[in-house]
Amino acid sequence: MDKKLKTKSKTKSLKPNKESSTKLDVDLWEQNEDRFTICEFIPDRQANKSQQNIKAAATSGTVVCPGNAEALSLTASGSGKDAPVPQLSTTPTAISIAGCASGTALVTLDPDAATIEATEPERGNWTGRFDFLLSLLGYSVGLGNVWRFPYLCYNNGGGAFLIPFTIMLIIAGLPLMFMELSFGQYAALGPVAIYRRFCPLFRGLGTGMVIVSAIVMLYYNLIIAWTIFYMFASFRTQLPWQNCEPEWSTVHCFSYVMADQCEAANGTYYLRKCYNSTAAEEHNITEKALHALKRPPAEEYFNNFVLGLSSGIEETGNIKFSLAACLLIAWVIVFLCLCKGVQSSGKVVYFTALFPYLVLVILFFRGVTLPGANTGILFYLTPDWKQLANAQVWGDAAVQIFFALSPAWGGLITLSSYNKFSNNCYKDSLIVAFCNIATSFFAGLVIFSIIGFLAHELDVEVKKVVDQGAGLAFIVYPEVVTRLPISPVWSVLFFVMLLTLGLDSQFALMETVTTAILDKFPNLRQYKTWVVLFVGIFGYVGGLGFTTNVSRDSVHRENNTLFILNKCINILLKCFKNYAKWYIR
């Protein structure tokens, strides 16, 4: 949609073109409400497609050349000292100013004397401040807050871990987050375009961010596909992983329900069979049962039925069509939510960003009422102050901050680039950082209350059942809900929560990729739905490789490798870039 923009009285330095002393590169800054739009006339040079193609109407003003006290007239047409402003379309045109052969000229546009008309589709903005704030919150508060932070807290000194985590948040995470938010908001460009415009020497930074986001986008949606699979599997009266089913279980599958029934009959449960006291004594079953390998049904269900894991990465096996179908559903959901860009995703996040908090509150009140919950919570919170002297603890805190706030991925720059120019991104970064650490801490209370209950049920120590990552979400928690009344309800609630947490992060990852494409080819903005569809098809086809029999190992390996490489390289280059700018100045 074309848009008329009124100019304000502005002064701008004009430097002569290297190829001609009378041709000047002109930067006109036009103010549109609370945003500055850069309109550049670049003579004798290939058009920069990442910038706005504009058409200038008749303009008047004055020009002051070096060593010339007299102000020259700048009008729509004229001769001699008058300088014409030609009609400009998609091809930049030179502006010749008589009498300005060298040095720097100052141009002052008369107020209300000029209008410019945008000839390319608008980039778009968030329709409301809370659209951006909730999208940013959803992007920052993700799966890692639920399944990674609680384990790190337990493994690194309990409550004492909050000290290095908070310090790393203040000195590293929050400054980087604010820098990227202000960076994107000021320029209204994605990672690739912004670095090419701001510092061409480091344009590879933006490209690297987009490439990493594109790769992560492929396997992150697979985790969403797992949650969809479990969500559908939960819609039945008895959860499928409640018992050791012959279809997917091995002899090492240990059903605690069957074991309790066997012990009640004065027998011994061993290798999925119940032996009476006579047979157990005759074959020394009791001794063997004490040292036998035991896997809970939820673990074998996830590894053998859902994933169908192979013996190694060299045996990829075939595509699991059930996972491929769930992956397709995940990509369809993402496409429908992003087909109109931030205008559509900004409305969806009101549910996807807030629903997890509702579920966490429900699970918290249910968890703390379970037997053994207090043991798990104390295990989670009891501080071990000696751990603060361990460098590994501080390293884990720093890594978790970058997992949580997601700087150097490109998502922060992308989301903030759709903000209004005057938005208070500093306040937004403080709100999101505080919500992130509060959510992580609260999620730990929920998870460890449930883990404490499981340890109580199994009559083992808490550290025997604690886990992180996919093991916590798809093995430990599913095992817990089988022991609760109306277990399908709790299972559906949990996996819908994981689904919404994953979708928020996926929205930002995919928006980073599509924004990079649209900033590079702005004429495609009017076909944004088709661009999103193309990226979605690419993502689905690329993600099919993760639905084979090595999916879990591939995702874990890909996640750790990409994360470490991306963070180290991008953050070091950012620091070097800032140092170089400071040194040059």
Please indicate if the annotation marks 145 as binding a ligand: yes
Tell me if 35 sits within 8 A of 188, measured CB to CB: yes
Instruction: Supply the Cα-derived Rg of the chain in whole angstroms.
Output: 30
User: Does a structural domain hold residue 248?
Assistant: no
Looking at the structure of the chain, the number of domains it has is 3
User: Does a structural domain hold residue 251?
Assistant: no
User: Are residues 343 and 282 both part of a single domain?
Assistant: no
Write phi, then psi, for 22 (nearest 5 degrees): -105, 0
DSSP summary character for residue 464? G
- Residue 199: predicted pLDDT: 82
User: Are residues 188 and 273 both part of a single domain?
Assistant: no
List CB contacts of 36: < 8 A, sequence separation 6 or more.
29, 30, 421
User: Are residues 186 and 324 both part of a single domain?
Assistant: yes
Residue pLDDT, tens place only, 409-419 = 899 999 999 99
Please indicate if the annotation marks 501 as binding a ligand: yes
Which of 118, 139, 161 is where one domain is finished? 118
User: Are residues 262 and 335 both part of a single domain?
Assistant: no
DSSP summary character for residue 424? -
Alpha-carbon span 361 to 359, nearest angstrom: 5
User: Are residues 194 and 280 both part of a single domain?
Assistant: no
Please indicate if the annotation marks 519 as binding a ligand: no
Q: What CATH number should be reported for the domain holding residue 444?
A: 1.10.4160
Please indicate if the annotation marks 334 as binding a ligand: no
User: Are residues 364 and 439 both part of a single domain?
Assistant: yes
User: Are residues 498 and 513 both part of a single domain?
Assistant: yes
User: Does a structural domain hold residue 247?
Assistant: no
User: Does a structural domain hold residue 483?
Assistant: yes
User: Does a structural domain hold residue 232?
Assistant: yes
CA atoms within 13 A on the CB side of 186: 11
User: Are residues 81 and 59 both part of a single domain?
Assistant: yes
| Full residue range of the structural domain in which residue 112 is found | 4-118
Q: Is the dihedral of CA 254, 256, 259, 263 positive or negative?
A: positive
User: Does a structural domain hold residue 509?
Assistant: yes
Please indicate if the annotation marks 505 as binding a ligand: yes
- Residue 568: predicted pLDDT: 54
Please indicate if the annotation marks 208 as binding a ligand: no
Alpha-carbon span 327 to 536, nearest angstrom: 11
User: Does a structural domain hold residue 161?
Assistant: yes
User: Does a structural domain hold residue 249?
Assistant: no
Which of 89, 118, 147 is where one domain is finished? 118
User: Are residues 270 and 230 both part of a single domain?
Assistant: no
Low-confidence ranges of the chain (pLDDT < 50): 1-69, 71-119, 554, 557-558, 560-563, 566-567, 577, 579, 582-583
Q: How far is C-alpha 457 from the geometric centre of its chain's CA atoms?
A: 37
Please indicate if the annotation marks 106 as binding a ligand: no
